[in-house]
Structure 1
Amino acid sequence: MPESAPSATPSASTASPATAPPTHTSWWKRWWRRLPPARQDRFATLGPLLAVLLFMGAIVVAMSYLRLEELDREQEAVTRDVEYAQQRLRLRLLERQEQLMRLAREISNREIDEAEFVFQAESLISQYPELLAVSWIDSRRKVVATYASPSAPNAQTRSPNQVLLPGETDGSFELARDLRQPIYSRPLPAEPEQSVLLLQVPLSEQGRFSGVVMGEYLVDGLLRFGIPPEVMARYAVALLDDRQQVLAGSLQQAGSGRVLKWLPWSSEAMHHEVPVSPVGNGLILKAQGYRTSQDVVGSGFVLIIGALSTLTVWMLIASWRHTRRRVQAQQALVAETHFRRAMENSMLTGMRALDIQGRITYVNPAFCMMTGWSEGELVGRTAPFPYWPEDDQDMLRQRLEDELRGRSTPGGFEVRVKRKDGSIFDGRMYVSPLIDPNGQQTGWMTSMTDITEPKRIREELSASYERFTTVLESLDATVSVAPLGSDELLFANKMYRHWFGISGEGHRSLVDLAGIAPSAPSDEHDAVDAFAGMPTDSLTDAGAESAEIYMEALGKWLEVRTRYLTWVDGRLAQLVIASDITTRRHAEEQAARQNERAQTASRLITMGEMASSVAHELNQPLTAISNYCNGMITRVKKQQITEEDLLGALEKTARQAQRAGQIIQRIKAFVKRSEPNPSVSDVATMVSNALELAEIELRRHQIRVTTYVAARLPPLLVDPILIEQVLINLLKNGGESIQQAQRAPGQRFIELRVGPTRQDGIDCIEFAITDSGSGVPADMLERIYEAFYSTKAEGMGIGLKLCRSIVESHHGRMKVENIYNGAEVSGCCFSFWIPVAPTPQPHPGA
């Protein structure tokens, strides 16, 4: 053998050139085949092991990279949120600065005095809690007027005529005087969390510096009310001065529920700081991410990967050891696998296997449970089977012959099955061929499911659909469904077909007249609905819209309600329900006319009750006219009057006649019946007109009327006659209450206050009538607005009912409350408020 090896080499070298040299792949194959089986298994194990180690290394590198990316994203998030919080705080400071500048302009223009200044300052401080105090300081540093928040510390509480020291303003007063522009001071140190920031707004009078309006901000309040809550929840936020001293800061909530102190700044924590504009570098906003725990999840993930990799290595070695035994077991399981595969092709319910001759060879427990027959009673039986009903045996035998010939229905078929106790249930059978490991068909596998309950539910659904259709067809309202952007009609009930026919034009007309139709596509060749590409859930979940329209073609008033829904084919459709409300509209119009007559009757009743007072008021000018005329006649006859005296007497007579005429014209305008005519009306004029009539009655009963109408009130869009009617009724009721209470002359008064207010975020004008009467009994407060209910023995019970109806028709509200002096009722206050008329906007083309 050793000598034959050298001879083999020359033979190889002298081989024919046409013989191809061995390739790289064939060399590896020969090398692999020369290895013993044990070494082959060892190399086969090392390959997956190396792959597992490489996979673990890749996981470690990927997690390190993701951690760095996460740190960068966290820093970007901190920077973005701090910039957003600074913008919010800046806008809040600028809004307060604008309000103080407006207050300064009004002071410079002498539009307000000290009392009005205090009132406006109080309104500002009550609305914006970060403001501690607002002061009016003249050019000599003396406090003219000031108002401080009730929660302000004593150090920020000042009194009028107090002179501020230069150190109290930190030089901001001098800068405002020199620069003539708003100046912010540096944060003034105070007690912990009580640092104050001053804003000096200069006052100018004829070009001369006349003082400042000084606003004092609580730095902690700026942090609490100026920083968005979502930023405060994610970060530890603080306001610092230029020396990095913490002026106000937030707290951190630990996972265990403890409240920790302010987090120390560190280079490792994610933080960002930015100066607060317009204050400047004297106030710095800084935020730091809350310190989190160690990356237990990431470390645990690495440990899990390592453990899984170790387990994989162990499993590879164990798999190699058990390979031979698995091969032996595989051959034994092939026949069983094919058998189970045939069973898996059918439904996992009742299973029955037949051989080629139609004999039952296998039934599973589910099949026995469904039929009530045991496995011993069924296996080996041939047709007819015991679970066949007697009436269906011929049909079932024919089906069995078709199955044995391979003519089975792929979708299955329904049969009736008899249980052992004689009861019948409906079943569906599916048949598939049974193939052995050699590919030969050995029989048939049948699966059966009980469909009695699904069949009953399907029949009930069909009946329910018929009932639903019957209900829709018998409705007195039209019901129609059409897809968006199309004239196709998907559904229409009997009433719709009776009114509009079977076309979709009626549906489209209802939607167009109601003004709630979506915009249709403009391209006729690419017609899709207006909401194509949008999620339909937001439309189908939206509430229904409704409108009242008049359909000229039908001569009816219709209430149209629409909503979007997803049709059975997935398209977005619109449901329209139209109800005939003609009768209701006629009833509402008649009720409105009756209400108008009631208002006119109420004014006539009011004037009837005031007739004696009006007659007394008219008697004075008429008596004066008569006296002047008789005096002039007597003196003319005696020729004892000069031309100047005669002219003076005639002028006085004319003034008295004019006064009587004004009273008569005012009464005529008040009782005149007219349609409601809302117009932009002046508040002071309405109050003056109402007092002109009501004071006649009140003076006769020796009742004083005190009136306060705020200056520069905006106009109201109301019917002035109706509002005057409400005021007169309330003033008259107050006078009658004082009469019933029999108050002393010094306690007989009524106060009418008119001023601005806000209700539900809307600017309103409030009218408040306060009397010194006996008030309204507590058990009658809920019933005083009921029709024909009165607390007076001779009352008709329509006055307050009409007053409330008038106020609510002007989108206002009315309330009543007793005024208590201890446990005793000392008066009553009726108040109502009307929304301010919107300011007319200039036309764009003007």
Structure 2
Amino acid sequence: MKDAPLLHQNALPRPASLNWSQWYLSILKGAVGLLLILLIALLWLLRQNDIDEQRSTLIADVLWLEQSVRFHLEGNSEQLRQLALDLTRTTDPDALFILRARHILKNNSELLQLLWLDAAAKAVHGMPTRSLPRHGKDASGQDPVNRSIELAQLGKPTYSDAYWVDDVAQFEVYVPIFDEGEHRGTLLAVYSLPRLLKQQVPWWFAAKYQVRVLDANGNLLASKSKIDAASTTLSYPVIFDPPGFGMVLQVTAYRAAGNLAQTLIAALIVVLAAAVFWSLWAVRGLIQRRIDAEQALRSEYAFRKAMEDSLMVGMRARDMEGRVSYVNPAFLQMVGFSADELIGLAPPMPYWAPEEMERTLQLHNDVREGKAPHEGFEIRLMHKNGSRFDALVYEAPLIDADGEQTGWMASIIDVTARKHAEELAQQQQEKLQVTARLVTMGEMASTLAHELNQPLAAITSYNTGCLNKLESGNFSAEQLKEALEKLAVQAQRAGHIIRRVHDFVRKSEPKRVPCDLAEVIDDSIGFIEGAAKARGVRIVREIQGMRPELLADPVMLEQVLLNLMRNGIEAMRHTPSEQRRLTVKLSQLDRQQMEIRVVDRGPGIPPEVEEKLFTPLFSTKAEGMGMGLNICRSIIEVHHGRLWVEANPDGGSIFIITLPIVQQ
């Protein structure tokens, strides 16, 4: 009897366990049945989706083909328009027509014939023949050629309806020829519809679709198709305009090979069976894994919290409405507020600087709309005590465990010290550039003094001559006028030299203005030409005729050119006198870049020196500071250009400068 209670206690849990098993099996059976239902529904939905996707692809491909053919026809019409315009301008229209017609027919195989008709619709020239493509009258009793020419006289290309010649459907385009507003003739081009489809329908398109051109009555005019493929009822027509006249471009999709449905059903059955077995196995350790996961989550949260608290980068999270939902200690230290003061706040924020309020609000709205730049943006924020600081902000979407965005997470870096250092470095660089200009001007002082002495001596001479004439009384007003005009020219020359020196050496902020590089080169040569003559060096300028202006600081570019030219002159001090030539070339590389080449005939630069040539404090001269070429490269890079050196095949060096025509 003592064992009875124990047996009773051991037997109590069994009914609950059985009930749980039955309930679990019932759920499992229901889940399997639901999965089968969902499988059937999935097959049906996938089939419908496949049909819809195929139709969408068909429509997109048809629109692409129609646009491609239309662009091609319009491109040909534009060539004919240009030919019609050139025929009225050239002195030999016959040769021009033959040359251009041969080129157009060679590059457009769909064109059968190109005719030049005069104002009376008579053929002047034709390729390959002069005969009109069709004669007589149509069903309405009118001559189709004359009717089309009359329509073309309205000023734009006119297309004809399709017609048959030797079992080939073709149509025509008429382009008027006007000379000073008067109709002088017409250009007529004949298209072959089969050739047009063959030329414009790519192979991959024909492998997928049957392409047909139908007239307004539904009759077949031309087609291109894959013969061994069966078409389906999936078709899409689009109006074929130009040429119009009710013609339709109809594209029909081929039936896809294979039985995708059976393969999909088999795959889904395998997946379903695997899912059932996996679910039975997964339940076994579900509870234990959940406990382990909760423990791991607590550990992960503690680790993340410690990591965020140790960061020097400010972290701030906002929800989709822009309210602050999280801040880390680094951000709180930046702005001076506590977490309780910021959590839940909506814009405007108390740490926004009032003077930057409008821009800050715009950036806030851009972030909410998903327009935040990936490279981050700079903004000025305000500490609680009123002090300002510059911050670099990187915004990223805040995604939850379900993969849905719940807000935005920002990483904020205080860059006030860095910006101050950059500004200081920029100021030092500008001072160094001014110093370099003064050094350059000092080195050329004697030459400039000699250059300035010439106009001053001429002024003195003309002035003495005028005084002598006045004292002698033997003079005429014309003689004095001529002498005074020459005196004024020399005075202007001296003033130009002084003003040029003043503009070059004065300290000013870099100023981008539209400038002609040829004028910059001429001014630079004017500075250094005297020094070049003193050393027996001849300066040759090679400048192209047409050149665009670009935005640049002409004084800074003059500094670069003077430095490069002075280096080239000094490099040729041991070169034979007949070879002492410094060439400055200006050319346009393409629509985006201009190029300047400074070519000397010196001994050249050794490869080991060339690698360190633009390094600060490196110089090949005993008295050099090693900053000239480094400053030159910095100036060119400020203008978004490049400066490098290459060996001259004829001996010497070539310093190459490229500058963008449009500054970014």
TM-score band (shorter)? 0.5 to 0.7
Task: Choose from 362, 376, 386 the match for 1:545.
Answer: 376
Task: Choose from 644, 650, 653 the match for 1:816.
Answer: 644
**Aligned pairs (5 A) from 1:662-811:** 662-681=496-515, 686=520, 688-698=522-532, 701-710=537-546, 713=548, 715-733=549-567, 735-736=569-570, 742=576, 744-745=578-579, 748-754=582-588, 757=591, 764-773=592-601, 777-779=606-608, 782-790=611-619, 795-810=624-639
Q: Does the 8 Å CA contact 1:478/1:493 hold for their aligned counterparts?
A: yes
Does 1:501 pair with 2:338?
Answer: yes
- Give me the whole-angstrom Cα distance separating, in 1, the residues matched to 2:256 and 2:127: 44
Q: Does the 8 Å CA contact 1:690/1:727 hold for their aligned counterparts?
A: yes
Q: How much does 1:274 deviate?
A: 6.8
**Aligned pairs (5 A) from 1:245-644:** 263=227, 277-278=241-242, 289=253, 292-293=256-257, 296=259, 348=284, 462=298, 465-485=301-321, 487-493=323-329, 496=332, 499-502=336-339, 503-504=341-342, 508-509=349-350, 514=360, 517-519=363-365, 543=374, 545-551=376-382, 553-566=386-399, 572-644=406-478
Q: How much does 1:77 deviate?
A: 5.7
Change (3 A) 1:657 1:213: farther
Task: Choose from 653, 656, 659 the match for 1:830.
Answer: 656
Q: Does the 8 Å CA contact 2:316/2:324 hold for their aligned counterparts?
A: no
The CA deviation string for residues 735-766 of structure 1, in whole angstroms up to 9 with x for no partner, is: 55566665745965332225752xxxxxx341
- Give me the whole-angstrom Cα distance separating, in 2, the residues matched to 1:818 and 1:298: 66
- Give me the whole-angstrom Cα distance separating, in 1, the residues matched to 2:294 and 2:52: 59
Change (3 A) 1:72 1:586: closer
The CA deviation string for residues 425-466 of structure 1, in whole angstroms up to 9 with x for no partner, is: xxxxxxxxxxxxxxxxxxxxxxx9878x965x8666545544
Q: SS of the counterpart of 1:676?
A: coil
Cross-structure match for 2:67:
87
- Give me the whole-angstrom Cα distance separating, in 2, the residues matched to 1:203 and 1:770: 50
Q: Does the 8 Å CA contact 1:628/1:653 hold for their aligned counterparts?
A: yes
Q: Does the 8 Å CA contact 2:645/2:654 hold for their aligned counterparts?
A: yes
Change (3 A) 1:646 1:772: same
Task: Choose from 96, 120, 142 the match for 2:95.
Answer: 142
- Give me the whole-angstrom Cα distance separating, in 1, the residues matched to 2:207 and 2:658: 42
Q: Does the 8 Å CA contact 1:539/1:565 hold for their aligned counterparts?
A: no
The CA deviation string for residues 93-122 of structure 1, in whole angstroms up to 9 with x for no partner, is: 6578679979998x899xxxxxxxxxxxxx
**Aligned pairs (5 A) from 1:38-77:** none
Q: How much does 1:606 deviate?
A: 2.7
Change (3 A) 1:748 1:467: closer
Q: Once the two structures are aligned, what percentage of the paired residues are identical?
A: 25
Give aligned pairs, total. 551
Q: SS of the counterpart of 1:142?
A: helix
Cross-structure match for 2:127:
167
Change (3 A) 1:751 1:200: farther
- Give me the whole-angstrom Cα distance separating, in 2, the residues matched to 1:514 and 1:302: 56
Task: Choose from 485, 500, 508 the match for 1:651.
Answer: 485
Q: SS of the counterpart of 1:143?
A: helix
- Give me the whole-angstrom Cα distance separating, in 2, the residues matched to 1:213 and 1:827: 56
Q: SS of the counterpart of 2:94?
A: coil
Q: SS of the counterpart of 1:500?
A: coil
Unmatched tracts of structure 1, length 5 or more: 1-58, 110-135, 157-163, 187-196, 253-261, 304-343, 350-447, 521-528, 532-537, 758-763, 839-846
Q: Does the 8 Å CA contact 1:820/1:827 hold for their aligned counterparts?
A: yes
- Give me the whole-angstrom Cα distance separating, in 1, the residues matched to 2:551 and 2:516: 9
- Give me the whole-angstrom Cα distance separating, in 2, the residues matched to 1:611 and 1:91: 65
Q: Does the 8 Å CA contact 2:214/2:222 hold for their aligned counterparts?
A: yes
Q: How much does 1:550 deviate?
A: 4.5
Q: SS of the counterpart of 2:311?
A: coil
Q: How much does 1:211 deviate?
A: 11
Q: How much does 1:592 deviate?
A: 0.9
Q: SS of the counterpart of 2:411?
A: strand
AA in 1 matched with 2:127: G
Q: How much does 1:604 deviate?
A: 2.0
Q: How much does 1:628 deviate?
A: 2.2
AA in 1 matched with 2:93: R
AA in 1 matched with 2:546: A
Change (3 A) 1:751 1:809: closer
The CA deviation string for residues 393-424 of structure 1, in whole angstroms up to 9 with x for no partner, is: xxxxxxxxxxxxxxxxxxxxxxxxxxxxxxxx
Cross-structure match for 2:136:
none
The CA deviation string for residues 480-505 of structure 1, in whole angstroms up to 9 with x for no partner, is: 32323254543432650671123225
- Give me the whole-angstrom Cα distance separating, in 2, the residues matched to 1:793 and 1:648: 52
Q: Does the 8 Å CA contact 2:452/2:494 hold for their aligned counterparts?
A: yes
Q: Does the 8 Å CA contact 1:138/1:212 hold for their aligned counterparts?
A: no
Q: How much does 1:687 deviate?
A: 5.1
The CA deviation string for residues 545-574 of structure 1, in whole angstroms up to 9 with x for no partner, is: 332425362332233333221357977133
Q: How much does 1:88 deviate?
A: 4.0
- Give me the whole-angstrom Cα distance separating, in 1, the residues matched to 2:488 and 2:195: 66
- Give me the whole-angstrom Cα distance separating, in 2, the residues matched to 1:73 and 1:819: 60
- Give me the whole-angstrom Cα distance separating, in 1, the residues matched to 2:421 and 2:309: 28
AA in 1 matched with 2:633: R
Change (3 A) 1:300 1:614: closer
Q: How much does 1:594 deviate?
A: 0.6
Q: If you compute each CA radius of gyration, which structure gives the higher value, 1 or 2? A: 1
- Give me the whole-angstrom Cα distance separating, in 1, the residues matched to 2:456 and 2:469: 20
The CA deviation string for residues 274-303 of structure 1, in whole angstroms up to 9 with x for no partner, is: 78655679x99786645754x655799999
Q: Does the 8 Å CA contact 1:203/1:213 hold for their aligned counterparts?
A: no
Change (3 A) 1:299 1:480: closer
AA in 2 matched with 1:627: S
**In angstroms, what is the RMSD of aligned CA positions?**
6.1
Q: Does the 8 Å CA contact 1:735/1:771 hold for their aligned counterparts?
A: no
Q: Does the 8 Å CA contact 2:374/2:394 hold for their aligned counterparts?
A: no
Q: How much does 1:707 deviate?
A: 1.7
Q: Does the 8 Å CA contact 2:396/2:410 hold for their aligned counterparts?
A: yes
The CA deviation string for residues 630-659 of structure 1, in whole angstroms up to 9 with x for no partner, is: 334444444444332122112101111111
The CA deviation string for residues 322-369 of structure 1, in whole angstroms up to 9 with x for no partner, is: xxxxxxxxxxxxxxxxxxxxxx9x9747xxxxxxxxxxxxxxxxxxxx
Q: Does the 8 Å CA contact 2:399/2:405 hold for their aligned counterparts?
A: yes
Q: SS of the counterpart of 2:321?
A: coil
Change (3 A) 1:348 1:562: closer
- Give me the whole-angstrom Cα distance separating, in 1, the residues matched to 2:607 and 2:254: 56
AA in 1 matched with 2:447: S
Cross-structure match for 2:3:
none
AA in 2 matched with 1:785: F
Q: SS of the counterpart of 1:490?
A: strand
Q: SS of the counterpart of 1:677?
A: coil
Q: How much does 1:662 deviate?
A: 0.7
Change (3 A) 1:608 1:101: farther
> Mean alpha-carbon deviation: is it higher for 592-601 or for 769-778?
769-778
TM-score normalised to the size of structure 2? 0.62
Q: How much does 1:166 deviate?
A: 2.7
Larger relative CO (CA 8 A, sep 6+): 1 or 2? 2
Q: How much does 1:672 deviate?
A: 0.9
TM-score normalised to the size of structure 1? 0.51
